[in-house]
Amino acid sequence: MNSISLAQIEQYAIDKKEFLLAEDALNNVSKSFDFLTEFSKDKIIYGINTGFGPMAQYRIDTDKLNHLQYNLIRSHSSGIGKPLDETYARSVMVARLNSFLQGNSGISSGVIQQLVLFLNKGIVPEIFEHGSVGASGDLVQLSHLGLNLIGEGYVYENGVRQKTADVLAKHGIAPLKMELRDGLGLINGTSCMTGIAAVNLIYAQRLVQWAIAASSMINEIMEAFDDSFSKELNAVKHHKGQQYVASQMRDFLAGSEMIRSREELFKDDTALTTREFERKIQEYYSIRCVPQIIGPIVDTINYAQEVVENELNSTNDNPIVRPDENNVFHGGNFHGDYISLEMDKVKIVLTKLSMLMERQLNFLMNSKLNGKFPPFLNAGTWGLNFGFQGIQFTATSTTAESQALSTSVYIHSIPNNNDNQDIVSMGTNSAVLAKQVLENSYQVMSIHIMAICQAIDLLEPEEKERLSSKTKSIYAQIRTKASFIKEDVPPAESIADVYQLIKETPFTI
């Protein structure tokens, strides 16, 4: 049985690695197709010799069975909105391929071979964000994929939208000739929402690493105490994510001479005789509670990975063809609730991550809170220059948008399809909105990491020397894209450059 992970999605969708079929990859696919061909000759099988959905009550004449599959693809190619970019579209194709390679769908091997050609020739299907209700599969989005495979509609090559027929002709690729239940097989599954979800998780995992790094850096430049992320403190809270974050922070800050030991305070005789302490005994929550805040984010994303990988390696269409059981089973494996719920949870935790970054940013902006840096990290003339004052607005408003987007889609079922689909998942909507929240979160992170680097430049030279090696390394990376700000300059281009850097650079502490 074919099995893939998020790591392989990253290779095929982001790195554009060639998709190679194993020699025996098509054996189960052919066996399933041959079985269904024979099995359906004297039986009523949904989608083979019947209409679809509420139209399943009508038998289709034998001489029109193939035409039925084309009608299904063409009639449901009704998507609208923004098309998925290449990375997400490639992930959708890989997700559909792997579902078929389980050998339970009864599709022809020609579908597999056409999908592989599209991937390896860099032909990007035009799949629109809007269309799926996610409960008879991603019917609309996957119909657009099917439409391209049969040589119709539009595709993208090298970022240029072109007629599919022209691109296939250029590459010498014949349009897919659909057989038996190829049309239904192509569209009756969760592969669009799953493909989007997989890429979302890859980038979300990268973002979490940046958030742990940024949080470690702000602890360091503020000379925070080390016990908030100590092993001893976090070990008494039995959550894997929290303990992981604390461990990552300790690794990141190893060798730092800026982080203070609580022992220093315990042994400070002057402090013991002081009525009011000059320095804070405990930091604000956005600095002190990082393991407790990012920990559940880590746990949520890790569980979502388990769910998404299960879906990637499942047969998620209907009916299910089981030659080993000598039967065809009708049911609802196309229902997308698993993905919908996880993407809701992921966008909620990413919004919380943005909120944490925005609050840490605000702490750096407000000299009355941090007691160390000038207002808005302004290195110029106060009043004449503005530092990061304008940049903060963008981070705050973007975080607010994510908060508005983070209501649940999973519970927003609307009956449709003559009430045949009376409760649906809206899974693709959930995945698309999670994608938007992810983009927003990277934007907020870009601004925040720039502000941290600005704060580092405002440290005394001897303090900069005392920073950890990993803080210095990240500082050097960011400074290749964004400079120290003294005189006011438009920062939009630098923010975009930093965004690109942190999103496309796999990063581990």
Q: Which residues are catalytic?
A: 46
Q: Work out the burial of residue 265: count CB atoms within 10 Å of its CB; fewer than 13 is exposed, 13-18 middle, 19 or more buried.
A: middle
**How far is 154 from 124, CA to CA, in rounded Å?**
9
Please give the Cα distance from 90 to 83 (Å, whole number): 12
Cα 153 from Cα 124, distance rounded (Å): 12
Q: In sequence order, what DSSP letters do the residues of 356-403 get, joined into one string?
A: HHHHHHHHHH-HHHHSSS-GGG--S-BTTB-TTHHHHHHHHHHHHHHH
The answer to whether the beta carbons of residues 222 and 471 sit under 8 Å apart is: no
Residue 110, both tokens: 């020609």
Phi, psi of 398, deg, nearest 5: -70, -40
Question: In 3D, which of 87, 75, 312 has the Cα closest to residue 190?
Answer: 312
Residues 6+ apart with CB under 8 A from 419: none
| Contact (Cβ atoms closer than 8 angstroms) between residue 146 and residue 84 | no
Closest by CA to 507, choosing from 123, 108, 208, 183, is 208
